[in-house]
Amino acid sequence: SVKGFIFDLDGVITDTAEYHFEAWQNLAKNYDITIDREFNEQLKGISRMDSLDRILNHGGRETDFTEAQKEEMASEKNGEYVKLIEKMTPEHILPGVLDFLNELKEHNYLLGLASASKNGPVILERLNLSGYFDTIVDPSLLAKGKPDPEIFLTAAHQLGVKPEECVGIEDASAGIEAINKAKMFSVGVGDKESMKEADYRLDSTEGLVLDVILNKVK
């Protein structure tokens, strides 16, 4: 039976996926690289440095910069992103998410956060949600990013439950792949194309309802 729910953050709990997109788009523009929403799907769930590599690759500029320059570019992007998240309040929690978290706590489920973002803990604080999570995986301690299952397996381990006893919730196709490889039940929030591998797909977070999900797991 299900004992734990493991959440992605950006694009699932709050709409920071939009802030990441905006900050990357502005950085890319400085180097004459254009990124659109379709390309952005590939950046969801991917670490800061890997995202930068994909963007440079997309613009055919992967060999134009030194490691030190790339570090500088990544920290410039993060600087803009951090400014955007400073303005966040609990009003930025996506629709249905708070009710769902309360429902999960009422029924004593264990909650974990499996976000690749180093800004995850700060965002949970801004949203007043830190108290809901029994564990947060520190992405800087992982060997591999999504779509590798490591982050979800680590979350289950930290919660003290088996992966098979967990439901994972994601908005990124790399995240769904990670959940599936971890042998958890995957819930995907997003369009049919990017969520095609999800065990259960929702158009929006408003569909996050405990009974409905538990019925699909069976």
Q: How far apart are CA 155 and CA 135, in angstroms?
A: 7
Burial of 215 by CB count in 10 Å (0-12 exposed, 13-18 middle, 19+ buried)? Answer: exposed
Residue 126 interacting with ligand G6P (CB under 6 A): no
Q: Is 8 noted as a catalytic residue in this protein?
A: yes
List 119, 158, 173, 205, residue binding ligand G6P (CB under 6 A): 119
DSSP state of 161: S
Active-site annotation holder among 10, 53, 134, 171: 10
- Give the nearest distance from C-beta 72 to Mg ion in angstroms: 25
- Residue 31's alpha-carbon distances to 49, 61, 172, in angstroms, are 16, 9, 26
- Residue 51 interacting with ligand G6P (CB under 6 A): yes
Shortest Å distance, C-beta 16 to ligand G6P? 7
Q: What number of other Cβ atoms are within 10 A of residue 169's Cβ?
A: 28
Both tokens of 124, joined, read 């949970």
Footprint on this chain of Mg ion (rule: CB under 5 A): 8, 10-11, 171-172
C-beta of 78 vs 130, nearer to ligand G6P: 78
Which spans of this chain sit near ligand G6P (rule: CB under 6 A)?
10, 17, 20, 43-48, 51, 78, 115-119, 172
Residues that are catalytic: 8, 10
